[in-house]
Structure 1
Amino acid sequence: AMHPLPALSVFWLLPLAFTLEEDSPLNCVPRRAVPFHKDNAHLFSEEGVFNYSTMLLREDLDLLVVGAREAIYALDLNDISKKLASVKWEVTQQQKEDCQNKGKHPEVHFCFFNYIRILHKTEDNRTYVCGTNAFDPECDYMSYKDGQLTLEKKGEDGKGKCPFDPFQRYTSIMFENDLYSATSMNFLGSEPVLMRSSPVTIRTEFKSSWLNEPSFVSMTQMPESEMSAEGDDDKVYLFFSETAVEYDCYNKLVVSRVARVCKGDLGGQRTLQKKWTSFLKARIDCPVLESQLPYIIQDTYRWCDSQQRWKDCLFYAVFTPQSDTSDLSAVCVYRVSDISRVFAEGKYKTPVTVETSFVKWVMYSGEVPVPRPGACIDNEARKAGITETLALPDPTLQFIKLRPLMDQAIQPIGGKPLLVRRGATFTCIVVHQVQAADGEKHRVMFIGTEEGTLLKAVNYDGEMFIIEEVQLFQPSESIKILKCSNVTGQLYAGSDYGAAQVPLATCGRSLSCMDCVLSRDPYCGWDKVAGKCTLLSSSQRELIQSVKEGDASLCPKADPVKPLNRFIWPGGNLKLSCSSPSNLAKTTWERDGTALTPTARLQLLHDGLLILSASDSDTGRYLCQSMEHSNAGQYAATVAEYQVSMDPAGPGDGNRIFPKAQINGPSVAGLQAVIGLLLVSLLALLTWNFYKGYIPLPWNCLKNREQTEEHGDLNSAVTYQDAQRPAAAEKKLLVCGRDNGTNYKNHSPEGAELSVAEESDLPKVNLQSLQLIDNESEI
């Protein structure tokens, strides 16, 4: 299938961008925005340590194990601000020198550090840990005993397990004590691999048809052998993006993929020896506004109900655009059974050579060998006497070696995203299920962003609702990893500059019943007896909650707001504060029962009302109301009430925000004295410059002009001849490409030698005489 060029796709995206108006259901706005505050989360960081981006929940030990740059921490799972133990894993001087000698720059490529990239629990309750180790990956075992973290210093080779480059995307899982990893095998990062390290090392082929400049995202295992009528094997799924081989594009087109391998794969006997015989991959789509360029997968989360089979598990995935023309991020959800069906029953793609040089990928319509290429060993294969992959026939292995790509793309549930949002780019996601007051279960998505915020969102019968957006890190730092603990009911986030721990719900942010119900948070409900918004799980009483409708009429009548007294003075200014608890609400003001409209003197702010140059007519009773719409209707609430009175004595209280300037006073007199002193200093400076001759007197300027006119022809000739000499430089100007706003001098050795004075003497170039050279054959 032909895809448009990325450059041309911009024009297709433009009309779609205009359809995203502010009231578009796709343009979700968080109901509540919570700015950074130290009480938002438990925070952990240590001075001089960065990149807290690897985490392991050790709920058996009540620990959160965090891997950072050259350090591993054991933190209290209930309060990660409490460090229980730590261990350093630093690079030796010899390793630093080796990294530099191989061509890496210590500052640009971070040769001097060991970034911890892998933390997995082993079956003997130790922790398997790997680090980049100055571009020489190494792995070790770590134990926690008597409050101490200890590295065993085994010094295992980490190549193929852990990335060389600390900032290259990678992923890994530990499954039944076998490490499955997707990373690069070599120092340059040019040999991508999906590998199982034990008991027999099995990996992918180094072929572009298998992995083509991939960016690995995540990996998970599925117990597909459980209660399998076909006697199937367990699978490991890998999510990644890569440059597509199947599209006819002049420019590189990146697509999202899901691949899978079988746990029992031992490789082939001769063909695909120690290589995967079960590696299959398929394109995974997340269609956003029918955009021409595919969105790129960034993170996934496997959600499974413990009471259901593996086929009912879901993959939640975060996608971002590959084009700068869009600022939308999306979440799509996929059924594991849909993905499994494509691999088990779908058609393959096959490469076809066109005109002896160009390779085109098309759907394979020929005969498929038996056993099915890429399939796990099942009951049907065992009946044929094939009990392991080493016994697979050569036609099956040759087929899958050449054609690992499936023809059919995997579509999300409903054929569209669960959430599309403009703004901060999504980075990672976790999903947690909670039972609401009505007994129905809801899956809540927690999404990290590049701006260090955490979104909390739910999909209620197709309606996407973002409950809140909380700023976790200050300054704003991208959230690199998210973990969720069902034991503590807490979320754990990691960024370059620290780790954060937040509860799944903070019901106390809602101070009224209406605010609590309109927040539509399935974790929270209004306790009429206690008079507060509280967690459902922590209360034995029946709470008021309406997550699907947001029916605030269930609330008892609110207590009246206590009016506050404020004073104005003739010509003074006053601000009346009114902060709405919701971004979805509209704030209105009225004075003595009459709605206020904005004027030059009455300015409506997002957090209040500003009265400028006050007069007697501005006194009265001011009421600020919040009007919010939900599925059940519109609800108004009084947020603030003020009694504004005139104070003829002048600006005596602390409510004025713009005091009138003093006409006469010590401040004005002081300013006049400073200005006078500056004028005297300026005159003295001018006089001194005239005296020294640095600034010519007017009559001297006239004399110099007359001399210039007498010798003008000679000077012009000399200047023109001098300007003709640098012919080489003139030729370089003819083939200058686009400089993207950079200075030509910064990229030209000849230009760098020119001074400002020399540049001013160059002749003017007639731009019409220069021909644009856009064909390399003309150069």
Structure 2
Amino acid sequence: MEYHSLMYLTVAFLGLLSQCLTRLTPRVSFPMGSPGRLLNRFSSADVSNTTMLLLSEDQNTLYVGSRDAVLALDVSQREAITMKNKLDWSPSETDLEQCSMKGKKMSDCPNFIRVLQFLNATYIYACGTFAFSPRCTYINSKTLTMTSLKPEEGRGRCPYDPYQRNTAITVDGELYTGTVADYRGNRPVISRHLSEGSHVDLKLDDTLGWLEDPTFISSSFIPSEEKIYFFFSEVGREYDFIDKFIVSRIAQICTTDVGGQRTLQRRWTTFAKAQLLCQSDNELPYNVIQDVVTLPPPEGAPADDTLFYGIFTSQWSVNSGQSAVCSFRLSDIKLVFSGNYKVLNRDTLRWSTRVQEKVANPGECGLHNASDNTLRFVKENFLADDSVRPVGRSLTMVSPDQYYSHLVAQRVKIANKRDYTVLFLLTESGYLHKAVLLEKGAHIIEEVQVFEKPQTVKNLQLSISKSMVFVGTSEGVVRVPTANCSFYWNCVQCVLARDPFCGWDPTRRACVDATNTEASLGQDVDTGNVEEACNSGPLITRARFGPNKLPPSTCPAGELVSVSLNEVVRLQCPAASQLARRVWERPNSRLSPDLYLNLEDGSLNFVATPATLGHYLCVATENGYQQTMAIYQVKQKGSPTPQTAASANQPQTHQSSVTHAAARPGMPTSMVNWPKRTETRQRETQPKLPPSNTRVTTGLLGRDFTMWAEESGKKEVQLRNGESLLLSRGPCYLKELVVVSVLLVLCFSVLIMMLLYTIKQRCRSRTAPQASTPTRDSNRGTSVEREALRGSQSVRNKRNRQAMHSGQENGVVCSEAPKGSNGHLPNTPF
């Protein structure tokens, strides 16, 4: 025990000293309602808490367990989600009154569906909390009607509390659940119900302490092993800590288990559990599991290559708000369960490594026919001595600023026959992150906002054949396409996205689905190398304006910006993505920080002077590739402008603050709309312009803009809160205002300090000791010091009278001597 305690204390200390985690920034962000990421939503005024999702075998119907109802939604059409049937299943008024009399809130007393599983091709088995009195029923999946008017008792199959987490899975028509079996939630149980044939209903032995206040997360059936694995978190009794230490567990049972003949009758004989350790070297462990998903092995690979991806958080405040994703291989899990087991001393309630001879292997299938001696051994030895460690003994991904709650995983085979794993992770803030796992770490391709309000109970369901992710929330059901290839308007953006679902087709000159084609596509998921992947595709010219790089006579005209001298000019630079770094350049000169101000939104601000007139270029760099995003020509109003073929087609503006962006179809949401400009391009075709009412939204750097494409010759920028920012803004004197404000603050600070110093001196003169009043300091001083004090007392009295007279004239009166909190004069010893 001392060893484990010391080990975790050491890990905790090292975790505090560990290096900062790199922030995983989604490349593109789509706020709710963005046209670049169209989603389908289902919601109804009389339907709420649509959190339990069950997809039919043909994946055309989505069954939803909600509050007081079970829904059948038609998801076969890509344009919309419609309701096919609805089964109302709510408690009676008597049930609600009894629930309220138990001290429960009326808002928690309805019937919240918490189990929704297929028994066969015809029937669905559903269980609900039913006013804190669980009930279960059979539902015909075709007609969505109950087969019996009287529901069954749901104790041990469904939780009482709608906020209590549980898990359920059906295998061969039998229901396996992990939940609590009493009203108070003190009897956790893993059990089998609806047993058929020679099987009998089984559960855990309540007296053994096999579970310690668990929170059930998920369950998975592995056919090749004939085992069901349960994932949960519980109190780790094997660690002797002052506070309760939470550990993540994986437990197993065999579907062929029928219980013992004498020992462990109607109890599991194959139950065993082990710790899931999501931890990297020299870091605090992520010890609280939040969700787990099973990823089958690649085609042709053995079942031992099955992976379990889990989201973990930490109970320590130092990791508050962080999430980690770990993956565990089935072969490693089997190895831990076939190893040594700990033994529990029933007298001291302490765990220790087993030292006696191993009689049997706990968790092994077929133990129901074993002897009583063997069953007693597995009854006392059910905790594996070793822990299941993640693949590669490292974390799959870590997010220091996002709290993930749910995930689904998909293995994607691209055109070059390579496999990539894509994770869809749901954040507590309401975004769905799409991440691809690479050798150098995770890359978040995009984030899509799916709900606004925080959700306590959510669910994800992946449809691989439909290429959809379904999100169940209390607000409704949201359908998110797994791929969004048409959003990327050229080869550069298609490759830089590094999306395994998407690749650039040079023949069609479009970003297409890479999983449904055998053609040679421009795609580089691992490195995002644009130069190699886009040899046959259009490339954006990367002209540079740096010093001595481009003669002034050859500068492209760019977008004309006419200004008056001494006006503040703001040049806007659109961003290709949130990962792009934008840099401004001028021909044959450098941008001095004394004259130019670069803001976080990528814009360049400066005062128009003869020295700052001329050409400006904004270059965006992402993954080593540079793109020209904007070219401007700033000139003084009234000065002649050379008429060239390029500049004659451009509209001239007369504003000092202009916002420009490229209006291209599928423009990323982190870009703004800008008029057409004469930028040199190589081998690029003109894409189709979007309709005039196309709306593009950006969530870059926490600021959400709404841009409207050119309509009737008017270009307007509208902020989210409704405030409009027209291109015809007046001059801005931001720099001068800042200088004047700083000077005023300094002057006021000096005046206040002088006034406080004067008041302090006057108050101190009033509290100075008089000649007739002995003080502690005067008593301690020598005779020479006391003589000097008396000699200067007359001078002090004179100054005090002058100060009092002056203070009364100025309205300053010190009524008493200031004292510290200890009752003595400030800054004097006591």
**Equivalences for 1:334-345 in 2 at 5 Å?**
334-343=328-337, 345=338
Q: Which residue pairs with 1:129 in the alignment?
A: 126
Q: What is the one-letter code of the residue matched to 2:26?
A: P
Is contact 2:286–2:324 with CA below 8 Å preserved after alignment? no
Question: Which string of whole-angstrom CA distances, capped at 9 and with x for unpartnered residues, describes residues 171-222 of structure 1?
Answer: 0101110000000001111110001012122011224630000010100111
* Aligned-residue offset at 1:95: 1.0
Partner amino acid, structure 1, of 2:169:
I
What percent identity do the matched residue pairs reach?
33
> Is 2:433 the partner of 1:460?
no
Unpaired segments of 5 or more residues in structure 2? Answer: 543-556, 639-653, 659-725, 734-818, 824-830
Partner SS, residue 365 of structure 1: coil
Match of 1:545 in 2: 523
Which residue does the alignment assign to 1:374? 363
Structure 2 residue 493 is the aligned partner of structure 1 residue 515: yes
Query: In 2, Cα distance between the equivalents of 1:593 and 1:70?
Result: 72
Separation (CA, whole Å) in 2 of partners of 1:476 and 1:558 = 42
Q: C-alpha displacement at 1:6, in angstroms?
A: 8.6
SS at 2:257 equivalent: coil
Question: What is the Cα deviation at residue 76 of structure 1?
Answer: 2.1
Q: Deviations over 1:477-516 (max 9, x none)?
A: 4682211112211111122322211111111232221221
Q: Which runs of 5+ in 1 are unaligned?
A: 226-233, 378-387, 662-763, 769-779
Q: Does 1:577 align with 2:575?
A: no
Matched, 1:420 2:415: no
Residue 219 of structure 2 corresponds to residue 219 of structure 1: yes
Q: What letter corresponds to residue 613 of structure 2 in structure 1?
A: T
**Residues 651 and 424 (structure 1 numbering): CA distance in 2 closer, same or farther, change over 3 Å?**
closer
- Structure 1: how far apart are the matches of 2:318 and 2:609? 50
Does the 8 Å CA contact 1:626/1:638 hold for their aligned counterparts?
A: yes
* Counterpart in the other structure of 2:561: 566
Does the 8 A contact of 2:655 with 2:728 survive in 1? no
**For residues 62 and 417 of structure 1, what CA distance do their matches in structure 2 show?**
36
1:254 corresponds, among 240, 246, 258, to 246
Aligned to 1:86: 86
The equivalent position to 1:486 in structure 2, one of 459, 464, 487, is: 464
The partner residue of 1:120 within 117, 120, 145 is: 117
State the match for 1:430 in structure 2: 408
Deviation of 1:65 (Å): 1.1
Do structure 1's residue 287 and structure 2's residue 283 form an aligned pair? Answer: no
Which residue does 2:5 correspond to in 1? 3
Q: Deviations over 1:401-455 (max 9, x none)?
A: 2221111111111111111121111112211111223221212122222112222
Q: Note the C-alpha offset of 1:583.
A: 2.8
After alignment, is 197-206 or 603-612 more displaced?
A: 603-612
Report the count of equivalent residues.
628
SS in 1 for 2:5: coil
17, 21, 34: which is aligned to 1:15? 17
Cross-structure match for 2:327: 333
Instruction: Tell me, yes or no, if structure 1 residue 589 matches structure 2 residue 574.
Output: no
Query: 1:364 — aligned with what?
Result: 354
Q: Deviations over 1:562-594 (max 9, x none)?
A: 943333334444433323223332110123464
**1:91-490 equivalent positions in 2, closer than 5 A:** 91-107=91-107, 110-111=108-109, 113-145=110-142, 152-199=148-195, 200-207=200-207, 209-224=209-224, 234-288=226-280, 290-305=282-297, 306-326=299-319, 327-343=321-337, 345-352=338-345, 358-370=348-360, 372-377=361-366, 389=368, 391-475=369-453, 477=455, 480-490=458-468
**Cα distance per residue 1:656-683 (max 9 Å; x no partner):** 556559xxxxxxxxxxxxxxxxxxxxxx
- Deviation of 1:252 after TM superposition, in Å, equals 0.2
2:68 aligned residue: 70
Distance 1:593 1:422, change over 3 A: farther
| Shift in Å, 1:61 | 6.2
**Which has the larger displacement, 98-107 or 566-575?**
566-575
CA–CA separation in structure 1 for the residues paired with 2:730 and 2:355: 78
Within a 5 Å distance, the mapping from 1:729-768 to structure 2 comes to none
For the 8 Å contact 1:239–1:257, the answer to whether it is kept is: yes
TM-score by length of 1: 0.75
User: Residues 64-86 of structure 1, C-alpha deviation per residue, up to 9 Å, x if partnerless?
Assistant: 11112222222222446322222
Counterpart amino acid of 1:313?
T
Q: CA deviation at 1:544?
A: 0.6
Q: Structure 1's 594 and 301: CA in aligned 2 closer, same or farther, altered over 3 A?
A: farther
| Cα drift, residue 238 of structure 1 | 0.3
The more displaced of 391-400 and 188-197 is 391-400
The one of 596, 616, 619 equivalent to 1:622 is 616
Partner of 2:49: 51
In structure 2, how many angstroms separate the alpha carbons of the residues matched to 1:411 and 1:70? 42
Instruction: Quote how far apart the aligned CAs of 1:286 are.
Output: 0.8
Q: 1:36 deviation in Å? A: 2.6
Matched position secondary structure for 1:408: strand
Structure 2 CA distance for aligned equivalents of residues 506 and 189 of structure 1: 44
Name the CA shift for 1:403/1:658 in 2 (closer, same or farther; >3 Å).
farther
Task: State yes or no: 1:640 paired with 2:640.
Answer: no
CA distance in 2, matches of 1:92, 1:765: 68
Shift of 1:540: 5.8
CA RMSD for the aligned pairs? Answer: 2.9
Q: CA deviation at 1:12?
A: 4.1
Summarize the Cα distance change of 1:202–1:452 in structure 2 as closer, same or farther, 3 Å threshold: same
Contact between 1:575 and 1:608, CA under 8 Å: does it hold in 2? no
Cα distance between partner residues in 2 of 1:532 and 1:264: 53
AA in 1 matched with 2:417 = G
Residues 675-702 of structure 1 deviation map (CA, whole Å, 9 limit, x = unaligned):
xxxxxxxxxxxxxxxxxxxxxxxxxxxx
Cα distance in 1, alignment partners of residues 440 and 611 from structure 2: 50
Report matched runs for 1:595-744 at 5 Å: 595-599=590-594, 602-611=596-605, 613-629=607-623, 634-647=624-637, 654-655=726-727, 657=729, 659=731
TM-score (norm 2): 0.71
Match of 1:290, as an amino acid? N
User: Compared with structure 1, are the counterparts of its residues 73 and 603 closer, same or farther at alpha carbon in structure 2 (3 Å cutoff)?
Assistant: farther
Three-state SS of the structure 2 residue aligned to 1:333 is strand
2:269 aligns to what SS in structure 1? coil
- What is the distance in 1 between the residues matched to 2:559 and 2:498? 31
Q: Distance in 2 between matches of 1:310 and 1:540?
A: 28
Shift of residue 542 of structure 1?
2.3
Distance between the aligned counterparts of 1:530 and 1:165, measured in 2?
Answer: 55
Equivalent AA in structure 2 for residue 126 of structure 1: Y
Deviations 1:621-643 (A, max 9, x none): 221111122xxxx2101122223
Query: Could you tell me which residue of structure 2 aligns to residue 60 of structure 1?
Result: 58
What one-letter code is carried by the residue in structure 2 that aligns with 1:367? E
Distance 1:597 1:586, change over 3 A: farther
Q: Which string of whole-angstrom CA distances, capped at 9 and with x for unpartnered residues, describes residues 55-114 of structure 1?
A: 00114361011112222222222446322222222221111111122232334xx12x11
State the shift of 1:765 in Å: 14
One-letter amino acid matched to 1:558: L
Residue number in structure 1 paired with 2:814? none
